[in-house]
Amino acid sequence: MKVAVTGASGFMGPGLVQRLLGRGHDVHVLARNIEQSLSRLPEGVTGSYFDAATPLSPDALADAEAVVHLAGEPVGQRWTKEAKHRIHESRVMGTRVLVRAMKEAGTVKRFVSASAIGFYGGTRGAEPLTEESSPGDDFLANVCRAWEAEAMLAREAGIRTAIVRMGMVLHPEGGALHKMLPPFRMGAGGPVGTGKQYVSWVHREDAQDLVLYVLEHPEVEGPVNVTAPNPVTNAEFAHAMGHALGRPAVMHVPAFMLKAAMGEMAKLALEGQRVLPKRAQEAGFTFRYPELEAALRDLLA
């Protein structure tokens, strides 16, 4: 089938596009800079212009039968007032214009839209969280709630819609692991804050496989947590990093230092959620990397 993908050139996108092509699907990307986006993707992919602030013509979807929506302003940056606005608007307005175009186009039967486990809020301690758990009430939780609500409006047009709530996606090329690696490689890594906050991580290969699995299983609707089955505490995560790199990982970073360096965004590291992939496992998805040690061995080899 023809699949339109937003955010295809980012951290998750190229691997997903590869998988789609490998499964025989046609891919059409929706991007702010089509040429730049296509230059990062295999031959044969086509593209149309898409941004959150401009109404999207249904023609831009190029008769796609399915849409995967990954685009959004990066969250891992200092949360100034302007950055918070961009994080919120790129997701809420971006999803709104996309869903409107999908409804008008009439060709789309399947919609998979990204969200984040930030949906559950940052202060849930060791509470096991599944897709049925209640949302949190902080900046990211409210962004995720509004973003998901826009995506779910696609169902009004009979489009089977799933929300993939991403955990901390691990790969040295980008995301959180890329930022953590330099201090850990120097032996200057360690737990942050209390170290008791949970890290719901997922190997990027598993995350991309699971998004594809969800897309190809239209009976899977609503939220799906994209996290490995065995989340760990921040202290356990630091220990596993040290072990995988053969470096000490005992340099504790106190909360106040992280807050001074990163501002409010430090919450991403100081708070956490213990999220379980209940729906994915019920739907029959098998994780290649259910355990952190093996995932890090593979990623940092």
CB of 229 to ligand NAP, least distance (A): 17
CB of 227 to ligand NAP, least distance (A): 10
285-297: buried (b, 16+ CB within 10 Å) or exposed (e) per residue? bebebbebeebbe
CB of 169 to ligand NAP, least distance (A): 3
Which helix H or strand E contains 98, and what residues bound it?
Answer: helix 81-105
Q: Does 223 bind ligand NAP (CB under 6 A)?
A: no
Measure CA 17 to chain center.
15
Distance in angstroms (rounded) separating the CA atoms of residues 102 and 95: 10
Nearer to ligand NAP, 2 or 91 (CB): 91
Using DSSP, state whether 11 is helix, strand or coil: coil
* Helices and strands of the chain, counted as H and E runs: 11, 13
Q: Does 13 bind ligand NAP (CB under 6 A)?
A: yes
Any idea what DSSP says for residue 33?
S
Nearer to ligand NAP, 162 or 166 (CB): 166
Nearer to ligand NAP, 32 or 103 (CB): 32
| Binders of ligand NAP in range 66-85 (CB under 6 A) | 70-75
Inter-CA distances, 246 with 1, 115, 140, 171, 190, Å: 46, 34, 34, 18, 13
Q: Does 32 bind ligand NAP (CB under 6 A)?
A: yes
CB of 103 to ligand NAP, least distance (A): 20
Among 175, 191, 193, 277, binds ligand NAP (CB under 6 A): 175
CB of 16 to ligand NAP, least distance (A): 9
| Binders of ligand NAP in range 99-158 (CB under 6 A) | 114, 116
Which stretches within 134-233 are classed as H helix?
A: 139-152, 175-185, 204-215
Q: Are 234 and 195 in contact (CB under 8 A)?
A: yes
Nearer to ligand NAP, 169 or 199 (CB): 169
Tell me the window of 64-72, 104-112, 208-216, 236-244 that interacts with ligand NAP (CB under 6 A). Answer: 64-72
Distance in angstroms (rounded) separating the CA atoms of residues 145 and 151: 10
Q: Are strands 66-69 and 110-116 parallel, antiparallel or unpaired?
A: parallel
> What is the rounded radius of gyration, in angstroms, for the C-alpha atoms of the chain?
19
Among 27, 102, 141, 168, binds ligand NAP (CB under 6 A): 168
| Binders of ligand NAP in range 237-266 (CB under 6 A) | none
For tokens 């029959």, the residue is: 284
CB of 248 to ligand NAP, least distance (A): 26
Q: Does 37 bind ligand NAP (CB under 6 A)?
A: yes
Q: Does 97 bind ligand NAP (CB under 6 A)?
A: no
CB of 250 to ligand NAP, least distance (A): 26
Q: Does 9 bind ligand NAP (CB under 6 A)?
A: yes
Sorted by sequence, the CB contacts under 8 Å of residue 22 that are 6+ apart come out as: none
Q: Are 292 and 236 in contact (CB under 8 A)?
A: yes
Q: Which two tokens stand for residue 60?
A: 């831009």
Give the footprint of ligand NAP on this chain (CB under 6 A): 7, 9-13, 31-33, 37, 51-52, 70-75, 86, 90, 94, 114, 116, 166, 168-169, 175
